[in-house]
Chains A and B, each alone.
Chain A
């Protein structure tokens, strides 16, 4: 067997190598995902982070000792979930206590020039960050980041509806000597070549996440831009092309429901024709989240999963990757909501932990140092795994939060099917990338 990546350091430090005992009855760990590749079978341990290759022609039984030592084979009675709990407890304990906040999702506005039917912010009050608030946000970030590098994600609404706020905030950070990088979620309509240049130069934007809901007719109907621009689809695709040529990373997010699945099949062809081979272009394919009963559901979850997997395979066939590399560390947090180093800043200066906000979830504001610790702690409260999770290979990659509005979706069939497929893609790419590096 060939070790492509060893166990991650914390897991390795905690568990070490498992002692092989001849005569013991071993079974494959539940925390293992296998993927076939040209050179054999890749084995990934989702808790330990180890990636191994079982070369073609070799069998599992030949490699029993190596697989035992790497925790891929475990005794029948081995409790994977207990091991995972221990690793997570240790990961939490060794996390450095930072008094600084260094990650920010900043909503420059909740206004938007699109009217997507699936938007979870539909019907919310439209607030745009004023120049003064932007100055105050810049000062706030400079104060709480403690001189460490800051990561900003621009969000909204459509954040590019208020580029002045971004100018002011970034100018304040630059003047304060704060190092920062940023990314943006945008519909891409305003991401003209001129704005791309400004974004990269002044806002240090390195990447953009752009939702594309279908080919022209579907896209125009879905987005329903207030500009009523019949050329919006072509404009956005052209903006993406310029952005890629300028060196920006662009991830096209394709949101799938039953109504647009067939059209996305055609869209992938169009995107491939335009961007395949361009550096920095990625496509993520995800199910549309259930918002206010507007989603056209597939008859079964399995159908949804199979559709998404089919679309993913299609884009992979063009050499287009999904954004997101093989994450080898088992998770100890869910997202920004359950870590202290991240905050979501609203257009009016209020602060919350989750961008899927509700007014009652605000924890404070940039003008006062007091925070609603009860709400902050509530976001960190993890719910127990579901019974099905004990059998799921993805469990080490899942942290379920009590407060997360999406927790009911977890451990559904489509999530695990899609999750495993995504992981297999990442395993293959990680192996191929390493192979290329070695041959270079």
Chain B
């Protein structure tokens, strides 16, 4: 999975923020905010795991129905594409 920008996750007391480490303004450095589950989705997607498999992982890990898990994955992936963290 190719990323548009160099970035990293910053753990802010249980919330995660993806920040760009490139040369940009403060506001541009904050790419997206995630909770614990969102971070897991993001990391898996960036590691090349297909969305369907990520959904299955969520179903294994959490007490959540398939529709909710799918929506979460779609949302996070969409945010990552919009933030330039990932490319389609």
Contact = CB atoms under 8 A, between A and B. Distances in A.
Contacts of B19: 90, 93-94
A429 interface: no
Contact of B26 (A82, A86, A89, A94): A94
A82 B12 CA distance: 9
A9 interface: yes
A374 to B, nearest CB: 26
Contacts of A358: none
At the interface, is chain B mostly helix, strand, loop or mixed?
strand
A12 interface: yes
Interface in B19-73: 19, 21, 23, 25-27, 29-30, 33
Contacts of A8: 26
Contact of B27 (A9, A86, A89, A96): A9
Contacts of B17: 14, 90, 93
Contact of A13 (B11, B13, B23, B27): B27
A85 interface: yes
Interface residues of A, number: 14
Contacts of B33: 14
A98 to B, nearest CB: 11
Contacts of B13: 82, 85-86, 89
B5 interface: no
A94 B29 contact: yes
Contacts of B11: 89
Contact of A90 (B21, B25, B30): B30
A89 B12 contact: yes
Q: Which of B8, B21, B30 has the most CB of A within 10 A?
A: B30
Contacts of B27: 9-10, 12-13
B87 interface: no
A9 B12 contact: no
Interface of B: 8, 10-13, 15, 17, 19, 21, 23, 25-27, 29-30, 33
Interface of A: 8-10, 12-14, 82, 85-86, 89-90, 93-94, 96
